[in-house]
Homo-oligomer: A and B are copies of this chain.
């Protein structure tokens, strides 16, 4: 666990007081079952706790971030953020996959890269963290690891505005629609794109985003909204 402790200290300034909590959070049932006589604890109980901590913090974040969104949208967005594949991704971002203790069979069959195992370990880690520290520490960790990706729109269910704009414009036959990058600002890991949508060579709107795809959607959205406004 020494290497894991270094990762936590270097990247997240986290030092566990009770190292056994950390040990348990990274112990998969398959490992505990293989060493049954040693009575090693596995991470399922911590996962139960961590899951609830995560739900609350993400719910609180979404509730405050989107004061106008109805409950249904908040629930969908939360489900996207806390689903297994997302959590597995965060576990990989934190290099947690290297440190999970697996049984031999599980290791052989590729368990170390399985989303369920990684997602569960991520939740168990949050459970261990709230027990060793407090809710605020878990919140800070989540705001460092997860929220930037949420804010970058990685979990938005993008309504496909490009398709929508195309449908609106092509009611009376084919129309030439092109998207063109106007600017790219910022360093490689934190770039903002500005894109313009050209319809028959005329700019109908522009949009910004952290990827070309997001900026195109934003431009199309603006064009659609302008179009709707002019109809009212």
Tell whether, in the assembled complex, residue A71 and residue B45 are in contact, meaning their CB atoms are under 8 Å apart. Answer: yes
- Contact-residue size bin, chain A (C-beta under 8 Å from the other chain): 20 to 34
Q: Which secondary structure dominates chain A's binding surface?
A: helix
Which A14-53 residues have C-beta < 8 A from chain B? 44-45, 47-49, 51-53
B63 x A49 contact (CB < 8 A) = yes
Asked, given contacts A55-B55, A135-B135, whether A49 binds B60 with beta carbons under 8 Å apart, the answer is yes
Tell me, yes or no, whether A175 is within 8 Å of chain B by CB. Answer: no
- Nearest chain B CB to A6 CB, angstrom units: 28
Instruction: Judge if A75 is at the interface, Cβ distance under 8 Å.
Output: yes
Contacts of A44 in B (CB 8 A): 70-71
CA distance A49 to B51 in the complex (A): 15
Give residues in A with beta carbon < 8 Å to B.
Answer: 44-45, 47-49, 51-53, 55-56, 59-60, 63, 69-71, 74-75, 127, 130, 135
